[in-house]
Amino acid sequence: MKHRPFFAGLLIAGSLFASHAFAADADQIKASQAWIRVMPGTLPAGGYVTLANHSDHAVSLKGASSASYGHVMLHKSSTEGGMGRMEMVDSLSIPAHGTATLSPGGYHLMLMDAAKPVKVGDKVSLTLNFADGSTLVTDFDAKPANTVDAADAPMDHAHH
């Protein structure tokens, strides 16, 4: 009987210690240049973002979700061998004190089953999910279909 309180106390103390000592992954990530390519009607769209990791350990992005889309999946595109193809990926690692970029032609979020058509200029809230279970809510700017990259402003045709 005397040991039970001791074990319980140890577990509680350990748990408190752990949660106090390690911040959630999401808190270590800064999202920037988040945008969505607006597609006609409810066609699938690409979501793109730059993720900077300010922690001392790699952080793993597992996917995302949104009230605006029925399905959001983490994908990677390639044009190796002259073929355009796309595949689902389980996670994307953001290195310690480093950056991972989801950009057209590479890693991206595939956004499907739009609850309603997204319009250029909208801000769409997406929840980014990390391996430790923490989440980061980020607003993605809805940009025209013919946007080439995050720095491509509508009507701006300056050379990149």
Under the rule (CB under 8 A), what is the footprint of other proteins? 37-41, 43-46, 75, 77, 79, 81-86, 104-105, 108, 110-112, 144-148, 157
Q: In this complex, which beta carbon is closest to other proteins, that of residue 137 or of residue 148? A: 148
Task: Give the nearest distance from C-beta 123 to other proteins in angstroms.
Answer: 19
> 66 Cβ partners below 8 Å, 6+ apart?
72, 111, 124, 125, 126, 127
For the bound state, the minimum distance from the C-beta of residue 74 to other proteins, rounded and expressed in Å, comes to 12
The residue (of 42 and 60) whose beta carbon lies closer to other proteins is 42
Enumerate residues 6+ apart whose C-beta is below 8 A from 85. 77, 78, 79
- Distance in angstroms (rounded) separating the CA atoms of residues 42 and 58: 35
- Provide the minimum distance between the beta carbon of 130 and other proteins in the complex, in angstroms, as a whole number: 22
> Which residue's CB is nearer to other proteins, number 37 or number 61?
37
Query: Hey, CA dihedral for 77, 83, 84, 87, is it positive or negative?
Result: negative
Smallest gap, in angstroms, from Cβ of residue 101 to other proteins?
Answer: 14
